Chains A and B, each alone.
Chain A
């Protein structure tokens, strides 16, 4: 794990790299790419489920990181969450622009690793551990829906179909689940 070349650095290192990228520091950009591209590529791939498209998306993601680094404010939110949001938002935008998708839902389910229940593969450590234990307090199907939405980029309509419930019920599930999740995380001290 430690010598893969794509090891995500500590939060402080990543924040410093982003701040230097904001100053137009190409060397810092190169190191940031080395440290984070493995993680961001996995995110794009998981959402887009198509290697060529994920590669295109990752290119665009790093172009945006370079151009928007000036907008990142250290101290408010973690740099990693800022980077992940850029990768997820771009991938999901691409996914939604590919409409209509309803026919592809079953096909997507046949791709290895994309079945609901991805939390099983997650590392039960640190922040993931905390969010996992909070997900564990939700009814299992709802926890699964939250994870499937976040990790696979499923829309309300796709989730409703996968879980065979009406769309509005899915909406209510997720609203309540997210509120409970946030409260639980606040209690467990993740958020100050």
Chain B
């Protein structure tokens, strides 16, 4: 158990409420933050208090920040160092694993392996390491431009009973486009219609959401995104 057993539920609830209200001193806040990181129940209690109290923020009104702030934020996130920054920071770390998985994928593709290896630069082949978004669902996708086909390999995590994973293509400000529901296990092959295939390029984002069995009933992402990553040439 991550949290000392000496603490009663009441004390724990009080600490969560005090943290959400904001009245703790620095030491108290650091302690609460440490617990949030290791104790999901405590973290949920804090989030629940934050939800309860947040209408009070109305009292602050609104104040437009100076325009240069927005540029500063975007510069920090997507500026010169965008390649290593933020969202993709851990992609590099996964890269070696991604390549190892790719080798497996190619081998497991059996007869197709030969054509993969022979198919030199038809256009850049792309690899997408779909990283977990809070859970343990991880996929690796390989895009073969000559075939307009994504091959997905499940690295870890599977959908719960009565649920399916659905694959989405996300580009810029457009709504995500469904690329199809993934099979429960193994390697998935997803053929793209030419119009969609043209939109798959370096930097395109793939995401997997958890949906009701058979896929999203609305054509839009309805469940949480469980894994996501961006396409890179290999």
Taking Cβ atoms with an 8 Å cutoff, the residues of A that contact B are: 4-6, 8, 19-20, 22-31, 33, 37-39, 41-43, 45-46, 55, 58-59, 62-63, 66-67, 70-71, 73-78, 80-82, 84-85, 88-89, 92-93, 96-97, 99, 118-119, 121-123, 126-128, 130-131, 146-147, 149-151, 153-157, 159, 174-175, 178, 181-182, 185, 190-191
Contact = CB atoms under 8 A, between A and B. Distances in A.
Interface of B: 14, 17-18, 20-26, 29, 47-66, 69-70, 72-74, 76-78, 86-88, 133-134, 168, 170, 172-173, 176, 205, 207, 221, 224-225, 228, 230
Contacts of A20: 170, 176
Interface SS, B side: helix
Contact of B170 (A25, A71, A123): A25
A77 B46 CA distance: 11
Given A78-B54, A121-B61, A182-B52, A19 B73 contact: no
B53 A150 contact: yes
Nearest to A26: B78
A67 B87 contact: yes
Given A19-B221, A70-B134, A175 B14 contact: yes
Contacts of B168: 23
Given A33-B73, A156-B25, A39 B60 contact: yes
Contact of B52 (A4, A46, A191): A191
B70 A37 contact: yes
13 contacts: A20-B176, A24-B205, A26-B78, A55-B66, A66-B86, A80-B54, A119-B56, A119-B59, A123-B58, A127-B58, A149-B23, A155-B24, A174-B18
Given A23-B176, A66-B86, A67-B86, A147 B23 contact: no
Contacts of B25: 96, 155-157
A46 B228 contact: no
A51 B18 CA distance: 26
B69 A58 contact: yes
A45 B64 contact: no
B77 to A, nearest CB: 5
